[in-house]
Structure 1
Amino acid sequence: MQFNQQWTLQTLQRLVEIPSPSGYTEAVIEEIERQFETFGVETKRTNKGALIATLQGQDDTRHRLLTAHVDTLGAMVKEIKSDGRLKLAMVGGFNWNAVEGEYCTIHAESKTYTGTILMHEASVHVYRNSGTLPRDEQHIEVRIDARTTNAEETRELGIEVGDFVSFDPRFQLTDDGFVKSRHLDDKASVSLLLALVKQVTERKISLPQTTHIYISNNEEIGYGGNSNIPEETVEYIAVDMGALGDGQASDEYTVSICTKDSSGPYHYGLTRFLKKLCVDGNIPYRLDIYPYYGSDASAAIRAGHDVRHALFGPGIESSHANERTNVDSLRATFELLSAYVQTEMIN
């Protein structure tokens, strides 16, 4: 299979521009569901709202499962302040300074409103200590793009406690192949799985094992792909980002294979099998350990599923902040996905 860069990037941009913080993923799941329909692949919804597609393989007794999550970081309205602005509660784990100054959308029940996430003490002409105050839930707020100066006027707009707030992605593709956007975690991987299914169905490729594509929608809050796993599943792979930074081996140009995260080591045999596929196929890769990381694969293990679990994906710079990757990393991840699903399962 060949990596269709243009189609994958167009799909990625479309997905990141659909708001989908954990708990508010219906629209993006519907978009992916429609995409699977164009491929002629049937899907089913879980009670939690995730999506599972199945590609029939030659061996229907031992299955594989590939998952990527479509839910993202975001926030909810915690409080409507006396001046009409909004206090926020986090959805997912990030630092408040990572979203300071970001444009956002408030998803009220009947209408959406735009806004900006700011420090209450943003103006240096008014607040002498604006640069040193903590960036936390007591100081960060949303300035709504509407005429409101008190809590009553904000409520009259239809905004209420519990409304979701999504962060603008600001997707950009540079001439050097860098992809800059929020929510690359994990919509980059979702796009790659869709690209994989597109080629398998269009080229009528016969896979050695029945393979499930699990689009989870609660990974950022810890319980995405930990249920509805078919009993025949032997291998469970989370396709998720590689975390970059000091002391890390991953980069933005290779596929990152995780050997251990905060949950412990991933399955040794399956991880080494993935490495061998990279070596044999001349796929650029890095082995890495992510110290403050968990995945849907580790969530499935914690839930008691008897599967071999592994994790790989594109390297993402500044994860859970202003993220960036490169098309080379997307290509390497696609090549490993392609090699994996077309190779017989290890015993």
Structure 2
Amino acid sequence: MITIDETYLEETLLQLLAIPSPVGLTDEVVRYTAQRFSALGIPYELTRRGAIRATLTGKARKPARAVVAHLDTLGAMVRALKPNGRLAIVPIGHWSARFSEGARVTIFTDDGRQFRGTCLPLKTSGHAFGPEIDSQPVGWEQVEVRVDIPAEDGKALEAAGIQVGDWIAFDPQTEVTPTGYYVSRYLDDKAAVAALLTACKAVQDHGLELPVDAHPLLTITEEIGSGASAALHGDIAEMVSLDIAIAAPGQNTSEHAVTICLQDMSGPFDYHLSHKLIRLAKANAIPHRRDLFKYYRSDSAAAVEAGNDIRTALIGFGADASHGIERTHRDALHALTRLVVAYLVSDPVTPRDAQLLGSLDGFTRQIEPEELSMPNNPLPEPKEFLGV
């Protein structure tokens, strides 16, 4: 069995979580991740805005594959400087204001200064508002940021250098428990980034031979929907997205396993690639679950919607409370990392995928002919299909 450097995995995760990276403010986390690739001796390229495409060279150039995770996180932006000396805000990405209440934040200004503050409901003092504390609604218009400077009005905020459109990063509140749990904002998707880097390290450490070129991709706009629409090229035939998997009532996901998702709100993932991952998990005794996610999309959807004709699949670390104070266990991250390594050293779904277009020769099957014809239900003659 290939050993996984769990110390490297945890160190990388904690360092990633310590770098603020709401969508649009990702340069520093891109620099950090690029340096991690350099330290592993893995070449990479950056897009104009900072998505990373690294390369693990295989025996054949194509059909190449990609494994993608995203560096960007949720966050907020200053919408208005309020007359009471506080900040009205709007979210970056899709998340509930319910999870913003009480969080400590950093405001990033144009001149490079940073201010600390707290995101609070409009009515915060029980001694002033009594039962209204419990009856006020939830929403982004119902919260504000109290900045830790003397500010009685909007002019004081402006004089300090705070402006409409400044980025706000919420503290991750990271904790590692003695029982092996990671509790933090932004495990989505920094835990998957850490797993991907650790899988790359395993390939390098053990000198593993890859059958085809593999491209670790790190995107920077997944939380707003565009994600892996960039950084792909025509040789990539398969793409596996790594992301958070939802452990919640009604779901089949576990915080102690890797999840192989067969469908999200964008539709089913590729049959052959998804089932290949299931077979790899079984063959390598990797704890895994199968699941479907109703309110979910990933980098894979962005790649297909951008017009890329590629097979896509989604695997993830099981976690609780997505887009809130998330929690996963090191078991899930270990399982995810192992499955990524197993995928990287496996053969492509079909050699035919090296071509964008081709004949029926070598095309895949989902249902074998003998499965189509039951003893009491023989296949009709071809003319019946043709309407003859």
Compute the displacement of 1:73 (Å): 0.5
Q: Which residue of 2 aligns with 1:301?
A: 304
Letter in 2 for 1:170: Q
Shift of 1:292: 0.3
- CA distance, structure 1, for counterparts of residue 168 and residue 346 of structure 2: 42
Q: Which whole-Å CA distance do the structure 2 matches of 1:281 and 1:137 have between them?
A: 46
Deviation string, structure 1 residues 32-87 (Cα, Å, up to 9, x no partner): 01111111222111123211111111111210000000100000001110111101
Cα distance in 2 for residues equivalent to 1:321 and 1:137: 15
Residue 241 of structure 2, aligned match among 216, 238, 241: 238
Q: Provide Cα deviations, 1:118-157, integer angstroms capped at 9, x if missing partner.
A: 0121111111312111121222000111111111111111
| Partner Cα distance (2:305, 2:162) in 1 | 38
User: How far apart in 1 are the matches of 2:174 and 2:6?
Assistant: 16
Q: TM-score of the superposition, structure 1-length normalised?
A: 0.98
Equivalent of residue 232 in structure 2, options 229, 234, 248:
229
| Structure 1 match to 2:66 | 65
Match of 1:126 among 115, 125, 128: 128
Q: Report matched runs for 1:72-221 at 5 Å.
A: 72-109=73-110, 110-128=112-130, 129-221=132-224
In the alignment, the residues of structure 2 paired with residue 211 and residue 138 of structure 1 have an alpha-carbon distance, to the nearest angstrom, of 45
Match of 2:287 in 1: 284
Q: Matched residues in 1 for 2:17 and 2:185: separation? A: 7
2:197 alignment partner AA:
L
Which runs of 5 or more structure 1 residues have no equivalent in the other structure? Answer: none
Which runs of 4 or more aligned residues in structure 1 lie more than 4 Å from their structure 2 counterparts after TM superposition? none
Amino acid at match of 1:82: P
Corresponding residue for 1:53? 54
Task: Select 1:261's aligned residue among 261, 264, 274.
Answer: 264
- Give distance in 2, aligned partners of 1:272 and 1:61: 21
1:199 is displaced (CA, Å) by 2.2
Q: Confirm whether residue 8 of structure 1 aligns to residue 9 of structure 2.
A: yes
- 5+ long unaligned stretches in structure 2: 351-388
TM-score (norm 2): 0.88
Secondary structure in 2 matching 1:131: helix
Q: Which residue of structure 2 lines up, in the alignment, with residue 325 of structure 1?
A: 328
Measured after TM superposition, the shift of residue 3 of structure 1 is: 1.6
Aligned to 2:30: 29
Query: Secondary structure at the residue paired with 1:331?
Result: helix
Contact 2:241–2:299 (Cα < 8 Å) also in 1: yes
Deviations 1:76-134 (A, max 9, x none): 00111011110111001111011100111101122001111101211111113121111
User: Residue 18 of structure 1 corresponds to which residue in structure 2?
Assistant: 19
